[in-house]
Structure 1
Amino acid sequence: MSTIDATPLSPTPRTTLGRSRERGLTDRAALHAILREALVAHLGVDVGDHPVVLPVAIAVDLDGPDADGTLYVHGSVAARWLTRSERRTVCVTATLLDGLVVARSGFHHSMNYRSAVVVGEARIVEDPQEKAHALDLTVDHVVPGRSATLRPPTRKEVAATAVLAIPLREASVKVRAGDPVDDDTDVEAGAWAGVVPLSTVASSPVSAADSHDEVPADVVSRAAQLGA
Protein backbone atom coordinates (compact mmCIF):
# COMPACT_ATOMS: atom_id res chain seq x y z
CA MET A 1 0.00 0.00 0.00
CA SER A 2 1.38 3.42 -0.95
CA THR A 3 1.80 6.24 1.55
CA ILE A 4 -1.03 8.12 -0.15
CA ASP A 5 -3.38 5.14 0.16
CA ALA A 6 -2.46 4.72 3.81
CA THR A 7 -3.48 8.25 4.77
CA PRO A 8 -6.79 8.02 6.68
CA LEU A 9 -9.86 9.86 5.50
CA SER A 10 -10.71 12.73 7.83
CA PRO A 11 -14.42 13.44 7.32
CA THR A 12 -15.58 17.00 7.77
CA PRO A 13 -19.11 17.79 8.95
CA ARG A 14 -20.11 17.71 5.26
CA THR A 15 -18.78 14.18 4.73
CA THR A 16 -19.52 12.62 8.12
CA LEU A 17 -22.06 9.82 7.83
CA GLY A 18 -25.35 10.47 9.59
CA ARG A 19 -26.98 7.05 9.15
CA SER A 20 -25.54 3.53 8.96
CA ARG A 21 -22.20 4.76 10.22
CA GLU A 22 -21.01 1.18 10.59
CA ARG A 23 -20.83 1.03 6.80
CA GLY A 24 -18.36 3.88 6.59
CA LEU A 25 -14.70 3.27 5.77
CA THR A 26 -11.95 5.64 6.81
CA ASP A 27 -8.98 4.54 4.71
CA ARG A 28 -8.09 6.35 1.52
CA ALA A 29 -7.21 3.07 -0.19
CA ALA A 30 -10.94 2.29 -0.30
CA LEU A 31 -11.70 5.70 -1.81
CA HIS A 32 -9.01 5.31 -4.45
CA ALA A 33 -10.14 1.78 -5.32
CA ILE A 34 -13.72 2.89 -5.93
CA LEU A 35 -12.65 5.83 -8.08
CA ARG A 36 -10.31 3.60 -10.10
CA GLU A 37 -13.08 1.09 -10.83
CA ALA A 38 -15.95 3.50 -11.47
CA LEU A 39 -16.50 4.25 -15.15
CA VAL A 40 -19.16 6.90 -14.51
CA ALA A 41 -19.58 9.35 -11.65
CA HIS A 42 -22.18 12.04 -11.01
CA LEU A 43 -21.38 15.69 -10.38
CA GLY A 44 -23.82 17.91 -8.52
CA VAL A 45 -23.68 21.70 -8.68
CA ASP A 46 -26.03 24.64 -8.20
CA VAL A 47 -26.07 26.49 -11.52
CA GLY A 48 -27.91 29.49 -10.09
CA ASP A 49 -31.62 28.97 -10.60
CA HIS A 50 -31.61 25.21 -9.95
CA PRO A 51 -29.28 22.34 -9.04
CA VAL A 52 -28.13 19.80 -11.62
CA VAL A 53 -26.63 16.33 -11.25
CA LEU A 54 -24.93 15.02 -14.36
CA PRO A 55 -23.05 11.83 -15.31
CA VAL A 56 -19.38 12.49 -15.99
CA ALA A 57 -16.26 10.59 -16.93
CA ILE A 58 -13.55 10.95 -14.30
CA ALA A 59 -9.80 10.71 -13.88
CA VAL A 60 -7.73 10.61 -10.72
CA ASP A 61 -4.20 11.84 -10.08
CA LEU A 62 -3.13 10.91 -6.57
CA ASP A 63 -0.04 13.07 -7.05
CA GLY A 64 -2.05 15.98 -8.44
CA PRO A 65 -1.63 19.56 -7.26
CA ASP A 66 -4.66 19.61 -4.96
CA ALA A 67 -4.92 18.53 -1.35
CA ASP A 68 -4.61 14.71 -1.07
CA GLY A 69 -4.73 14.36 -4.87
CA THR A 70 -6.95 15.59 -7.66
CA LEU A 71 -10.18 14.35 -9.22
CA TYR A 72 -10.72 15.57 -12.78
CA VAL A 73 -13.90 15.88 -14.85
CA HIS A 74 -14.23 17.55 -18.23
CA GLY A 75 -16.83 18.97 -20.59
CA SER A 76 -17.52 21.56 -23.23
CA VAL A 77 -16.35 25.11 -22.53
CA ALA A 78 -19.93 26.13 -23.38
CA ALA A 79 -21.51 23.81 -20.78
CA ARG A 80 -23.38 25.86 -18.22
CA TRP A 81 -22.85 23.31 -15.45
CA LEU A 82 -19.09 23.41 -15.97
CA THR A 83 -18.64 27.16 -16.12
CA ARG A 84 -20.89 27.59 -13.07
CA SER A 85 -18.79 25.08 -11.12
CA GLU A 86 -15.67 27.27 -11.04
CA ARG A 87 -14.80 28.30 -7.48
CA ARG A 88 -18.00 26.72 -6.21
CA THR A 89 -18.44 23.74 -3.95
CA VAL A 90 -19.43 20.70 -5.96
CA CYS A 91 -20.15 17.10 -5.06
CA VAL A 92 -18.92 14.12 -7.08
CA THR A 93 -20.33 10.67 -6.30
CA ALA A 94 -19.20 7.32 -7.67
CA THR A 95 -21.22 4.19 -6.90
CA LEU A 96 -20.45 0.56 -7.73
CA LEU A 97 -23.49 -1.70 -7.52
CA ASP A 98 -22.62 -5.21 -6.35
CA GLY A 99 -25.96 -6.83 -5.69
CA LEU A 100 -29.70 -6.64 -5.09
CA VAL A 101 -30.54 -7.54 -1.50
CA VAL A 102 -33.86 -9.37 -1.51
CA ALA A 103 -35.28 -9.51 2.00
CA ARG A 104 -38.35 -11.03 3.61
CA SER A 105 -40.00 -7.63 4.01
CA GLY A 106 -40.09 -4.54 1.86
CA PHE A 107 -38.54 -2.51 4.65
CA HIS A 108 -35.32 -4.57 4.64
CA HIS A 109 -34.80 -4.77 0.87
CA SER A 110 -31.54 -3.06 -0.01
CA MET A 111 -28.52 -3.13 -2.32
CA ASN A 112 -24.91 -4.12 -1.87
CA TYR A 113 -22.72 -1.26 -3.04
CA ARG A 114 -19.47 0.67 -2.69
CA SER A 115 -19.91 4.43 -2.78
CA ALA A 116 -17.51 7.38 -2.65
CA VAL A 117 -18.48 11.01 -2.18
CA VAL A 118 -16.03 13.85 -2.82
CA VAL A 119 -16.91 17.41 -1.82
CA GLY A 120 -14.76 20.42 -2.61
CA GLU A 121 -14.24 23.70 -4.38
CA ALA A 122 -13.78 23.14 -8.10
CA ARG A 123 -11.26 25.03 -10.19
CA ILE A 124 -10.96 25.22 -13.96
CA VAL A 125 -7.57 23.92 -15.04
CA GLU A 126 -5.68 26.67 -16.85
CA ASP A 127 -2.16 25.26 -16.99
CA PRO A 128 -1.70 23.65 -20.45
CA GLN A 129 0.46 20.80 -19.17
CA GLU A 130 -1.93 19.92 -16.36
CA LYS A 131 -4.88 20.10 -18.76
CA ALA A 132 -3.20 17.79 -21.27
CA HIS A 133 -2.26 15.40 -18.48
CA ALA A 134 -5.82 15.39 -17.13
CA LEU A 135 -7.28 14.63 -20.56
CA ASP A 136 -4.79 11.77 -21.07
CA LEU A 137 -5.70 10.39 -17.64
CA THR A 138 -9.39 10.51 -18.59
CA VAL A 139 -8.77 8.46 -21.74
CA ASP A 140 -6.58 6.01 -19.83
CA HIS A 141 -9.24 5.65 -17.13
CA VAL A 142 -11.51 4.14 -19.77
CA VAL A 143 -8.82 2.08 -21.54
CA PRO A 144 -5.47 2.00 -19.70
CA GLY A 145 -2.57 3.00 -21.95
CA ARG A 146 -4.85 4.24 -24.72
CA SER A 147 -3.72 7.88 -24.75
CA ALA A 148 -0.18 6.94 -25.80
CA THR A 149 -1.52 5.29 -28.97
CA LEU A 150 -3.55 8.30 -30.16
CA ARG A 151 -2.63 11.42 -32.11
CA PRO A 152 -2.24 14.55 -29.96
CA PRO A 153 -5.41 16.62 -29.60
CA THR A 154 -5.66 19.60 -31.92
CA ARG A 155 -5.66 23.18 -30.65
CA LYS A 156 -9.32 23.42 -31.57
CA GLU A 157 -10.17 20.30 -29.54
CA VAL A 158 -8.24 21.54 -26.53
CA ALA A 159 -9.84 24.99 -26.77
CA ALA A 160 -13.32 23.43 -26.92
CA THR A 161 -12.74 21.38 -23.77
CA ALA A 162 -12.68 22.57 -20.17
CA VAL A 163 -11.34 20.53 -17.27
CA LEU A 164 -12.47 20.83 -13.66
CA ALA A 165 -10.23 19.80 -10.77
CA ILE A 166 -11.63 18.88 -7.35
CA PRO A 167 -9.41 18.15 -4.32
CA LEU A 168 -9.68 14.63 -2.87
CA ARG A 169 -9.16 15.92 0.66
CA GLU A 170 -12.82 16.00 1.69
CA ALA A 171 -14.41 12.64 0.99
CA SER A 172 -16.35 9.75 2.48
CA VAL A 173 -16.76 6.08 1.63
CA LYS A 174 -19.72 3.86 2.42
CA VAL A 175 -20.06 0.14 1.72
CA ARG A 176 -22.81 -2.43 2.16
CA ALA A 177 -22.13 -6.13 1.69
CA GLY A 178 -23.70 -9.41 2.73
CA ASP A 179 -27.12 -10.88 3.32
CA PRO A 180 -30.43 -9.20 4.15
CA VAL A 181 -30.86 -8.19 7.78
CA ASP A 182 -34.37 -9.44 8.54
CA ASP A 183 -36.43 -9.40 11.69
CA ASP A 184 -36.38 -12.70 13.59
CA THR A 185 -40.11 -13.18 13.16
CA ASP A 186 -39.77 -12.84 9.36
CA VAL A 187 -36.92 -15.38 9.32
CA GLU A 188 -39.01 -17.82 11.33
CA ALA A 189 -41.87 -17.47 8.85
CA GLY A 190 -39.75 -19.30 6.28
CA ALA A 191 -39.86 -16.94 3.29
CA TRP A 192 -36.86 -16.88 0.91
CA ALA A 193 -34.22 -14.16 1.19
CA GLY A 194 -30.88 -13.66 -0.50
CA VAL A 195 -28.74 -11.59 -2.85
CA VAL A 196 -28.73 -11.21 -6.64
CA PRO A 197 -25.05 -10.47 -7.45
CA LEU A 198 -24.38 -7.78 -10.05
CA SER A 199 -21.24 -6.77 -11.93
CA THR A 200 -20.10 -4.80 -14.96
CA VAL A 201 -19.07 -7.28 -17.66
CA ALA A 202 -17.76 -6.35 -21.11
CA SER A 203 -18.62 -8.17 -24.32
CA SER A 204 -16.03 -8.75 -27.02
CA PRO A 205 -14.96 -5.51 -28.77
CA VAL A 206 -16.88 -4.67 -31.95
CA SER A 207 -14.98 -2.83 -34.69
CA ALA A 208 -16.55 0.29 -36.17
CA ALA A 209 -18.02 -0.05 -39.65
CA ASP A 210 -15.20 2.05 -41.10
CA SER A 211 -12.41 0.31 -39.12
CA HIS A 212 -10.39 -2.83 -39.67
CA ASP A 213 -11.13 -5.91 -37.54
CA GLU A 214 -7.74 -6.17 -35.82
CA VAL A 215 -8.56 -4.95 -32.32
CA PRO A 216 -5.55 -3.25 -30.66
CA ALA A 217 -3.93 -4.85 -27.65
CA ASP A 218 -4.97 -2.14 -25.18
CA VAL A 219 -8.66 -2.60 -26.05
CA VAL A 220 -8.38 -6.41 -25.93
CA SER A 221 -6.72 -6.15 -22.52
CA ARG A 222 -9.41 -3.82 -21.19
CA ALA A 223 -12.21 -6.08 -22.41
CA ALA A 224 -10.51 -9.06 -20.81
CA GLN A 225 -10.14 -7.15 -17.54
CA LEU A 226 -13.87 -6.49 -17.57
CA GLY A 227 -14.66 -10.12 -18.24
CA ALA A 228 -15.28 -10.24 -21.99
Structure 2
Amino acid sequence: MALQNKSRLRNTLKKLNRLAPGDEDPRPSAQEALDFLSMMAGEKPVMLLGRGYNEQIWIKGVLQIASDAKLQIVEGPFWDASADVGAGADLPDWYFDHTRAAFAEHRAWYICRARAVADEVAVICETAAITVAQEARLLNYPECCVRAHYGRAAEYQGVWLDLLRRKAGGDDARAMELLTENEPLEPETDEDLNRLEAVMKTIPVPFTSINACDACLDGGPNAPANIKSLEGRKLAGEIDEGLVRALG
Protein backbone atom coordinates (compact mmCIF):
# COMPACT_ATOMS: atom_id res chain seq x y z
CA MET A 1 0.00 0.00 0.00
CA ALA A 2 1.34 3.43 -0.97
CA LEU A 3 2.33 5.71 1.87
CA GLN A 4 -0.29 8.41 2.42
CA ASN A 5 0.52 12.10 3.04
CA LYS A 6 4.15 11.62 2.06
CA SER A 7 4.70 15.35 1.52
CA ARG A 8 3.39 16.11 5.01
CA LEU A 9 5.69 13.51 6.51
CA ARG A 10 8.68 14.93 4.64
CA ASN A 11 7.87 18.46 5.76
CA THR A 12 7.57 17.25 9.34
CA LEU A 13 10.93 15.50 9.05
CA LYS A 14 12.51 18.78 7.93
CA LYS A 15 11.15 20.47 11.05
CA LEU A 16 12.41 17.66 13.26
CA ASN A 17 15.84 17.76 11.63
CA ARG A 18 16.16 21.44 12.51
CA LEU A 19 15.78 20.51 16.18
CA ALA A 20 18.48 17.84 16.17
CA PRO A 21 21.83 18.80 17.76
CA GLY A 22 24.45 19.03 15.04
CA ASP A 23 27.45 18.00 17.12
CA GLU A 24 26.17 14.71 18.51
CA ASP A 25 25.51 11.18 17.31
CA PRO A 26 22.56 11.65 14.92
CA ARG A 27 20.99 8.27 15.63
CA PRO A 28 19.03 9.04 18.85
CA SER A 29 17.21 12.04 17.38
CA ALA A 30 16.82 10.30 14.01
CA GLN A 31 15.13 7.33 15.70
CA GLU A 32 12.88 9.68 17.64
CA ALA A 33 12.00 11.36 14.35
CA LEU A 34 11.18 8.00 12.77
CA ASP A 35 8.99 7.11 15.76
CA PHE A 36 7.14 10.42 15.37
CA LEU A 37 6.65 9.89 11.64
CA SER A 38 5.53 6.30 12.21
CA MET A 39 2.86 7.62 14.55
CA MET A 40 1.79 10.23 11.99
CA ALA A 41 1.65 7.56 9.28
CA GLY A 42 -0.64 5.41 11.42
CA GLU A 43 1.83 2.57 11.89
CA LYS A 44 2.46 3.35 15.55
CA PRO A 45 -0.49 4.37 17.76
CA VAL A 46 1.66 6.29 20.26
CA MET A 47 5.01 8.07 20.05
CA LEU A 48 6.77 8.11 23.43
CA LEU A 49 8.69 11.33 24.07
CA GLY A 50 11.02 12.13 26.96
CA ARG A 51 12.02 8.65 28.01
CA GLY A 52 15.50 7.59 27.03
CA TYR A 53 16.39 10.56 24.84
CA ASN A 54 15.64 13.54 27.06
CA GLU A 55 17.43 16.46 25.39
CA GLN A 56 15.24 19.37 26.50
CA ILE A 57 15.43 21.49 23.34
CA TRP A 58 14.38 18.43 21.36
CA ILE A 59 11.46 17.66 23.66
CA LYS A 60 10.13 21.22 23.60
CA GLY A 61 10.48 21.40 19.84
CA VAL A 62 8.74 18.07 19.22
CA LEU A 63 5.87 19.09 21.50
CA GLN A 64 5.47 22.31 19.52
CA ILE A 65 5.46 20.42 16.21
CA ALA A 66 2.87 18.00 17.60
CA SER A 67 0.70 20.86 18.84
CA ASP A 68 0.92 22.69 15.51
CA ALA A 69 -0.10 19.48 13.75
CA LYS A 70 -3.19 19.15 16.01
CA LEU A 71 -1.98 15.85 17.41
CA GLN A 72 -3.09 14.53 20.79
CA ILE A 73 -0.56 15.00 23.62
CA VAL A 74 -0.90 13.33 27.01
CA GLU A 75 1.63 14.08 29.74
CA GLY A 76 2.01 11.43 32.39
CA PRO A 77 4.33 9.18 34.37
CA PHE A 78 6.56 6.57 32.81
CA TRP A 79 4.55 3.44 32.12
CA ASP A 80 5.32 0.46 34.31
CA ALA A 81 3.84 -2.93 33.45
CA SER A 82 6.10 -4.86 35.81
CA ALA A 83 3.17 -5.95 37.99
CA ASP A 84 1.47 -7.53 34.97
CA VAL A 85 4.33 -9.98 34.46
CA GLY A 86 5.29 -10.38 38.11
CA ALA A 87 8.65 -8.72 37.52
CA GLY A 88 10.21 -7.85 40.85
CA ALA A 89 7.82 -10.10 42.77
CA ASP A 90 10.75 -11.50 44.74
CA LEU A 91 11.84 -8.04 45.91
CA PRO A 92 10.73 -7.09 49.45
CA ASP A 93 7.74 -4.76 49.58
CA TRP A 94 9.67 -1.92 51.23
CA TYR A 95 12.23 -1.90 48.43
CA PHE A 96 9.74 -2.41 45.61
CA ASP A 97 7.46 0.37 46.88
CA HIS A 98 10.37 2.80 47.19
CA THR A 99 11.65 2.17 43.68
CA ARG A 100 8.17 2.40 42.16
CA ALA A 101 7.54 5.71 43.94
CA ALA A 102 10.83 7.11 42.65
CA PHE A 103 10.06 5.84 39.15
CA ALA A 104 6.61 7.47 39.20
CA GLU A 105 8.18 10.92 39.58
CA HIS A 106 9.54 10.79 36.03
CA ARG A 107 7.37 12.36 33.32
CA ALA A 108 6.94 11.60 29.65
CA TRP A 109 4.68 12.72 26.81
CA TYR A 110 2.54 10.33 24.79
CA ILE A 111 1.72 11.71 21.34
CA CYS A 112 -0.96 10.17 19.14
CA ARG A 113 -3.28 10.96 16.24
CA ALA A 114 -6.55 9.46 17.43
CA ARG A 115 -8.66 10.84 20.26
CA ALA A 116 -9.68 7.31 21.26
CA VAL A 117 -6.04 6.34 21.68
CA ALA A 118 -5.36 9.50 23.68
CA ASP A 119 -8.29 8.66 25.95
CA GLU A 120 -6.86 5.18 26.56
CA VAL A 121 -3.43 6.66 27.29
CA ALA A 122 -4.94 9.19 29.70
CA VAL A 123 -6.62 6.41 31.69
CA ILE A 124 -3.35 4.47 31.85
CA CYS A 125 -1.48 7.54 33.09
CA GLU A 126 -4.17 8.39 35.64
CA THR A 127 -4.45 4.90 37.08
CA ALA A 128 -0.79 3.90 36.62
CA ALA A 129 -2.11 0.53 35.46
CA ILE A 130 -0.98 -0.98 32.18
CA THR A 131 -0.42 -4.48 30.85
CA VAL A 132 2.47 -5.67 28.74
CA ALA A 133 0.01 -6.34 25.91
CA GLN A 134 -1.27 -2.75 26.05
CA GLU A 135 2.20 -1.25 26.10
CA ALA A 136 3.32 -3.41 23.19
CA ARG A 137 0.24 -2.57 21.12
CA LEU A 138 0.32 1.17 21.78
CA LEU A 139 4.05 1.59 21.15
CA ASN A 140 4.12 -0.96 18.31
CA TYR A 141 6.70 -3.11 20.09
CA PRO A 142 6.84 -6.92 20.16
CA GLU A 143 5.22 -8.17 23.33
CA CYS A 144 8.11 -10.56 23.95
CA CYS A 145 10.61 -7.68 23.98
CA VAL A 146 8.47 -5.60 26.35
CA ARG A 147 8.21 -8.57 28.69
CA ALA A 148 11.99 -9.05 28.57
CA HIS A 149 12.53 -5.36 29.36
CA TYR A 150 10.70 -5.72 32.65
CA GLY A 151 12.62 -8.87 33.46
CA ARG A 152 15.93 -7.03 32.99
CA ALA A 153 14.70 -4.11 35.08
CA ALA A 154 13.81 -6.43 37.96
CA GLU A 155 17.21 -8.14 37.77
CA TYR A 156 18.88 -4.71 37.82
CA GLN A 157 17.01 -3.76 40.98
CA GLY A 158 17.95 -7.11 42.50
CA VAL A 159 21.64 -6.31 42.10
CA TRP A 160 21.27 -2.97 43.88
CA LEU A 161 19.21 -4.59 46.63
CA ASP A 162 22.06 -7.02 47.26
CA LEU A 163 24.52 -4.11 47.47
CA LEU A 164 22.20 -2.27 49.85
CA ARG A 165 21.80 -5.26 52.12
CA ARG A 166 25.53 -5.83 52.16
CA LYS A 167 26.11 -2.22 53.23
CA ALA A 168 23.47 -2.68 55.95
CA GLY A 169 25.19 -5.79 57.26
CA GLY A 170 22.25 -7.98 56.30
CA ASP A 171 19.84 -5.98 58.47
CA ASP A 172 16.75 -5.07 56.43
CA ALA A 173 15.66 -2.43 58.94
CA ARG A 174 19.00 -0.68 58.48
CA ALA A 175 18.76 -1.20 54.72
CA MET A 176 15.39 0.58 54.73
CA GLU A 177 16.97 3.51 56.58
CA LEU A 178 19.83 3.73 54.10
CA LEU A 179 17.38 3.65 51.21
CA THR A 180 15.26 6.41 52.72
CA GLU A 181 18.38 8.49 53.32
CA ASN A 182 19.46 7.99 49.67
CA GLU A 183 22.76 6.59 50.85
CA PRO A 184 25.04 6.25 47.80
CA LEU A 185 25.89 2.74 46.67
CA GLU A 186 28.78 1.58 44.53
CA PRO A 187 29.73 -1.83 43.12
CA GLU A 188 32.57 -3.15 45.26
CA THR A 189 33.78 -6.27 43.48
CA ASP A 190 34.35 -7.55 39.97
CA GLU A 191 31.35 -9.80 40.46
CA ASP A 192 29.19 -6.75 41.26
CA LEU A 193 30.36 -5.02 38.10
CA ASN A 194 29.84 -8.12 35.98
CA ARG A 195 26.30 -8.58 37.28
CA LEU A 196 25.42 -4.95 36.55
CA GLU A 197 26.94 -5.07 33.09
CA ALA A 198 25.02 -8.25 32.30
CA VAL A 199 21.61 -6.84 33.25
CA MET A 200 22.30 -3.46 31.62
CA LYS A 201 23.40 -4.95 28.31
CA THR A 202 20.85 -4.32 25.58
CA ILE A 203 20.80 -4.96 21.84
CA PRO A 204 18.98 -2.15 20.00
CA VAL A 205 16.98 -3.23 16.98
CA PRO A 206 17.80 -1.05 13.93
CA PHE A 207 15.08 1.36 12.78
CA THR A 208 13.12 0.87 16.01
CA SER A 209 13.25 1.97 19.65
CA ILE A 210 13.16 -1.68 20.68
CA ASN A 211 15.78 -3.60 22.64
CA ALA A 212 15.65 -7.17 21.40
CA CYS A 213 14.77 -10.05 23.68
CA ASP A 214 16.81 -13.26 23.50
CA ALA A 215 14.14 -15.01 21.44
CA CYS A 216 14.23 -12.28 18.80
CA LEU A 217 18.03 -12.26 18.77
CA ASP A 218 18.01 -15.98 18.01
CA GLY A 219 14.86 -16.03 15.90
CA GLY A 220 16.17 -14.99 12.51
CA PRO A 221 14.44 -12.65 10.04
CA ASN A 222 10.94 -13.76 11.05
CA ALA A 223 11.41 -12.85 14.71
CA PRO A 224 8.95 -10.11 15.79
CA ALA A 225 11.65 -7.50 16.50
CA ASN A 226 13.32 -8.11 13.14
CA ILE A 227 10.00 -7.72 11.33
CA LYS A 228 9.53 -4.37 13.10
CA SER A 229 13.03 -3.41 11.97
CA LEU A 230 12.20 -4.14 8.33
CA GLU A 231 8.99 -2.14 8.63
CA GLY A 232 10.88 0.81 10.12
CA ARG A 233 13.53 0.64 7.41
CA LYS A 234 10.87 0.61 4.71
CA LEU A 235 9.04 3.61 6.17
CA ALA A 236 12.25 5.61 6.57
CA GLY A 237 13.22 4.88 2.97
CA GLU A 238 9.82 5.92 1.64
CA ILE A 239 10.07 9.24 3.44
CA ASP A 240 13.73 10.20 2.95
CA GLU A 241 16.89 8.19 2.27
CA GLY A 242 18.75 10.71 4.43
CA LEU A 243 16.83 9.37 7.41
CA VAL A 244 17.98 5.86 6.51
CA ARG A 245 21.59 7.02 6.40
CA ALA A 246 21.27 8.79 9.76
CA LEU A 247 20.06 5.55 11.30
CA GLY A 248 22.58 3.34 9.53
Q: Name the TM-score, length of structure 1 as normaliser.
A: 0.25
TM-score (normalised: structure 2): 0.24
